[in-house]
Structure 1
């Protein structure tokens, strides 16, 4: 679908709120914001970027304030919190302040490229999907910048989740998605996870509630600046959540 035909698919009432949870992303934030604006401005897409900073000690919020001055408060919306409270609650917080009828969630560390956002919107419009999720594992999707060990862990985690949970999507652990706002609110209300497994549970609950899900192949790039927030505790949390979802779904 070309840019002009995408324009014709988007109604005047459609607005997309891009939620960007941040924690120690002062180097990445200006780049990801520039990329979002570069790919969406002039596309006919009405959007806002909601930055939810969790009390980053590196000055991320100060950078966000400067970006708001540059691009305008109508485009960059700041909804910070005092401390790190978890990814799931960051999205809950962001939804409360989002003015769009569609919500896009993505990482601020440059692992998700904004060039895929128009493809997500195109996919959603094609069959009025409730959810569109990015996939690294089919149709030209991929991962760049990971060593063999991390790729093996990711593939293994995805294989196990497919085997146990049968989610109906090829990439259950991804976190680059588009939701209808009311659908996302229903999913948030039904989820119990608040950490990194929040994304995984969202798809499982979506399947339970019979929401329609489309997929868009994406390339995932490991972060350029800063350290990965995935550690041993997150892996343990993932295993516990997987077993919980297997037992309750």
Structure 2
């Protein structure tokens, strides 16, 4: 399907200590959009990274242009959910793509997201690791087991109508994302899970595209014991309130 002249895709990239990864993910994004012909912008929301991520972002803005690389930094870490809210305020596209900046999500899947969305005018397209050719590369057995178990429990308790509830590579109609953000209360990693639960509640349509998730090459994972505790608390909260 040929690109529509009216459609524009705003990619939200929250960053914290992603100096090594940011130039690569931006280059891959620019290449993917140029090849597919879709209009786009990349909005970088850096939360006060001490490693110089913002300086790298400023150089990328100079290289690719301020119309394509939009910097909307914040002074400190304020949570993933609020980063998306902040980025969305500045988005000029009618579609929003959210993804990680650490190269775990490859931009090559974005054209597939867009084509899938256009098939039935889906409100949301979610990348899934658990259907078809989807999968995970670079995780040991223990981490795969934790991920599968977390997803299984979430499926059992919440019945969200999505196969990968904890993933964070998605495409939204901007108007739909705004309604979901307004209805969500979570601010951290649970935010992603709550978004799909609320979407199912509100009757929004969901399509899925199998993706390969790749463990980060540079930097340290942001997922630790506190995030796991947060996930369990969030899961119980959603079970009790949805």
Q: Does 1:75 align with 2:68?
A: yes
Q: For residue 123 of structure 1, what is the aligned residue in structure 2?
A: 116
Give the Cα–Cα distance (whole angstroms) in 1 for the partners of residues 60 and 126 of structure 2.
28
1:28 to 5, 16, 21: 21
Give the Cα–Cα distance (whole angstroms) in 2 for the partners of residues 42 and 104 of structure 1.
17
Q: For residue 96 of structure 2, what is the aligned residue in structure 1?
A: 103
Q: For residue 133 of structure 1, what is the aligned residue in structure 2?
A: 126
Choose 35-44 or 54-63, whichever is displaced more: 35-44
Q: For residue 65 of structure 1, what is the aligned residue in structure 2?
A: 58
Please, what is the CA RMSD of the aligned residues? 0.6
CA drift at 1:42: 3.7
Q: For residue 223 of structure 1, what is the aligned residue in structure 2?
A: 216
Give the Cα–Cα distance (whole angstroms) in 1 for the partners of residues 171 and 33 of structure 2.
15
CA deviations 1:163-186 (Å, max 9, x no partner) are: 100111110000000000000000
Q: For residue 41 of structure 2, what is the aligned residue in structure 1?
A: 48
Question: Which residues in structure 2 correspond to 1:1-249 (within 5 Å)?
Answer: 5=1, 8=2, 10-249=3-242
After superposing on structure 2, the runs of 4+ consecutive aligned residues of structure 1 that deviate more than 6 Å are none
1:138 match: secondary structure: coil
1:41 match: secondary structure: helix
Give the Cα–Cα distance (whole angstroms) in 2 for the partners of residues 182 and 43 of structure 1.
24
CA deviations 1:119-170 (Å, max 9, x no partner) are: 0000000000000000000110000001111100000000000110011111
How many residue pairs get matched? 242
Give the Cα–Cα distance (whole angstroms) in 2 for the partners of residues 59 and 193 of structure 1.
28
Which stretches in structure 2 are left out of the alignment for 5+ residues? none
Which stretches in structure 1 are left out of the alignment for 5+ residues? none
Give the Cα–Cα distance (whole angstroms) in 1 for the partners of residues 29 and 216 of structure 2.
17
CA drift at 1:65: 0.2
Give the Cα–Cα distance (whole angstroms) in 1 for the partners of residues 136 and 77 of structure 2.
27
2:73 match: secondary structure: coil
CA drift at 1:39: 1.3
TM-score, with length taken from structure 1: 0.96
